[in-house]
Amino acid sequence: MEWKLELVTIPVSDVDRAKAFYVEQVGFNPDHDHSPTDEIRFVQLTPPGSACSIAIGKGVVDAVPGSVKGLQLVVEDAQAAHDDLASRGVQVSDVQDFPWGRFVFFSDPDGNGWAVQQIV
């Protein structure tokens, strides 16, 4: 049996601000943006090349905005990822080298934390 992780919900305080950050600054693809009711808005965004998406929105998660830490993206070149994110206005850490990979770190406007790893 296969088990596929395909969607992770990220709590945000301002859906439009978060969507703009993830699409315009981080470069995620905007897959869906639907409001079936006034109380619910579901926005699905996918990193290029990823089989897993994130969901942000209104009425989709009870977690506190900014409370998700440790989300991880994997890239071929951490320095190139750093340079791309920085050029788009993302406050990104310097490239950090560890025995298990090269990393850069950033947070969304609410403080949800991301790591970008180059496996070495």
- Give the strand pairing for 29-37 and 40-46: antiparallel
User: Is 83 within a domain?
Assistant: yes
pLDDT digits 0-9 by tens, 83-119: 999 999 999 999 999 999 999 999 999 999 999 999 9
CA distances in angstroms from 107 to 9, 12, 19, 33, listed in the order given: 15, 12, 14, 22
User: Is 2 within a domain?
Assistant: no
pLDDT digits 0-9 by tens, 39-93: 999 999 999 999 999 999 999 999 999 999 999 999 999 999 999 999 999 999 9
Looking at the 3D structure of the chain, how many domains does it have? 1
User: Is 52 within a domain?
Assistant: yes
Range of the domain at 29: 7-118
Predicted TM-score of the model (pTM): 0.95
User: Is 1 within a domain?
Assistant: no
